[in-house]
Amino acid sequence: MYSTKIVKAENSSAAVQAIGSSKEGKILAGGMTLIPTLKQRLANPDCLIDISGCGLEGVEDKGSSVRIGAMTKHAAVAESSLVAKAIPALADLAGGIGDRQVRNRGTLGGSVANNDPAACYPSAVMALDGTVHTNKRDISADDFFKGMFETALEEDEVIEAVSFKKPEKACYMKFPNPASRYAMVGVFVAKFSDGVRVAVTGAGEEGVFRHSDLESALSSNFSEEAVSGVEVSSDGLMSDIHASADYRANLIGEMTKRAVSS
């Protein structure tokens, strides 16, 4: 790792300020992606802004939604009885990210801000019609994710929390990459009174995306048969040494079926 400076921010505005006064500062949340990258010397930030002391942890029931602080660890979400009751699928998703040690350190905000195309959380934010709360504004999920590793976040913006709408029913099905255990395909299906949202991660070249064909099929008939009736195209899907686009397309269908029937 190149040498760097660490600033411990006490609140998000201090964090933003520190970013502003650095040349190429980076927010350090759980560090599960950032630290391995730094160890490989694949980035050379002059400053890391540690936001663990910004008071951004915690889970709140907001009636029709659940609001989770950006620095809430995956393990805390997985073990939260509030989340388990309100959106069990979200607790399941958090409990399946990485491994136990990653869940003990990794955070919701870090995962969402990074928007790794194979991360689990972005699919939940998208399928649960989430809102990303930053120090400046609220951003709807559909506006937040801008393609692989890209988000609507601006330089002077830090995620403070994410809200997830409570669905009638939801399920996340992940087919992990056998080596890295990231999602090779992850499908989050959420049924709301006004329709079904299906978000797919791990598969799209542009990162997480909503699958409109599956959504409309499931909105009119929430069943496995409805999924079978949808031809999942491999256009725009990733192809790598682990899985071709065709195979990913097949997995999207299969994981969706499993999510629907669970």
Q: How far is the CB of 231 from another protein (least distance, A)?
A: 15
Q: Residue 226 interacts with another protein (CB under 8 A)? A: no
Give the angle subtended at the CA of 251 by the CAs of 77 and 253, to the nearest 5°: 95
Separation between Cα atoms, residue 191 and residue 259, nearest integer Å: 11
Q: How far is the CB of 235 from another protein (least distance, A)?
A: 12
Here's the x/- map for another protein, 112-141, by CB under 8 A: it reads as --xxxxx-----------------------
Task: Pick one of 206, 219, 221, 224: the residue that binds another protein (CB under 8 A).
Answer: 206
Q: How many CB atoms lie within 10 A of CB 194?
A: 8
Here's the x/- map for another protein, 65-104, by CB under 8 A: it reads as ----------x----------------------xxxxx-x
Q: DSSP letters along 32-67, please? A: TTHHHHHHTTS---SEEEE-TTS----EEE-SSEEE
Q: Residue 41 interacts with another protein (CB under 8 A)? A: yes
Show Cβ contacts of residue 149 under 8 Å, excluding neighbours closer than 6 positions: 114, 115, 116, 117, 207
Here's the x/- map for another protein, 142-171, by CB under 8 A: it reads as -----xxx----------------------
* Count of residues engaged in binding another protein, rule: CB under 8 A: 62
- Which H helix or E strand runs over 173? strand 169-176
